Structures are given as C-alpha cells and as structure tokens.
C-alpha cells in the first residue's frame, strides 16, 4: 500500500513538473517579475492575466501562433488601437475566442494594446 502511494505521488509530481515547464516569454533574457500596475503596460501583463492558462493549450507554438511569443502576438495587434486589433476583436463579445477568455484577460489585452503593445 505504502509503495503504491509513493509510486502514485512520483507519477503525479513528474506530470506536474513536465506540464508546468513552459518556455519563457522573453527568449534569451532572464525572466523578470511582471509589474501589472506599470504604466505603460508590457507584454508580461498578458501572461499575468492568463495567456498561459487560457490560451497556450491551443496556441502552444505549433498551432496558429505561439501565445507566449511577443513577436507572434504583436503581429496581431495595432499598437494604440485595440478596436483595430485582430487579437482584441477575437477576445471581445462576439469574437471567435470570447468564450475561452475572462473579463480580466480581455481588459489586460485592451490595456496592453492601448499602451502601445510594448515588449
């Protein structure tokens, strides 16, 4: 019984470590904490409000685009104009991805784009 529980625990921990090991948003740079209150906001605000948990299962890099890649995400926005940005329109009510997001993620995306879609 004891060995069975340990085996199960090891399997669960291995799965957790594998599942949670995502590539960093900033390739080649040391990861810095994200200040979600910074003005203007930066790309890390999307991750802080859920891009990894909400989007990366369908956009892991081998799908339509990699949600963790600034280059790929920023190609889908018009800096300063959320309403003109494909990414934001997909997230808002009536958009293709609206059902998969949250109000907080939508607002964070709006703010990031409005602030200039900075890295």
User: pLDDT tens digits for 33-42?
Assistant: 777 788 888 9
Q: Are 79 and 72 in contact (CB under 8 A)?
A: no
Q: Is residue 55 domain-resident? A: yes
- Across the range 42-66, mean pLDDT stands at 77
In a domain, 2, yes or no: no
Neighbouring residues of 78: CB distance < 8 A, sequence distance ≥ 6: 84, 85, 113
75 in a structural domain: yes
Position 95 confidence tier, pLDDT thresholds 50, 70, 90: confident
Element (DSSP H or E) covering residue 111: helix 103-114
Domain of residue 63: give its range. Answer: 34-114
CA atoms within 13 A on the CB side of 95: 16
64-83 pLDDT tens trace: 777 788 998 999 999 999 99
pLDDT at 68: 81
- Which pair of structure tokens corresponds to residue 58? 């369908």
If one counts the domains in the chain, the total is 1
Asked if residue 90 belongs to a domain, the reply is yes
- Percentage of residues in the chain having pLDDT higher than 70: 66
* Bridge partners, 42 (sequence order): 118
> For residue 97, is it within any domain?
yes
24 confidence band (pLDDT: 50, 70, 90): very low
Q: Which of 38, 37, 69 is nearest to 56 (CA)?
A: 69
């Amino acid at each position: 019984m004891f060995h069975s529980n340990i085996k199960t625990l090891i399997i669960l921990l291995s799965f957790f470590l594998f599942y949670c090991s995502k590539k960093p948003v900033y390739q080649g740079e040391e990861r810095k904490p994200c200040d979600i209150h910074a003005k203007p906001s930066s790309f890390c605000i999307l991750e802080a409000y859920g891009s990894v948990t909400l989007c990366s299962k369908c956009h892991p890099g081998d799908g339509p685009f990699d949600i963790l890649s600034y280059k790929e995400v920023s190609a889908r926005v018009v800096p300063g104009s959320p309403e003109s940005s494909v990414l934001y329109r997909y997230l808002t009510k009536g958009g293709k991805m609206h059902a998969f997001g949250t109000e907080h993620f939508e607002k964070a995306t709006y703010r990031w784009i409005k602030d200039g879609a900075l890295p």
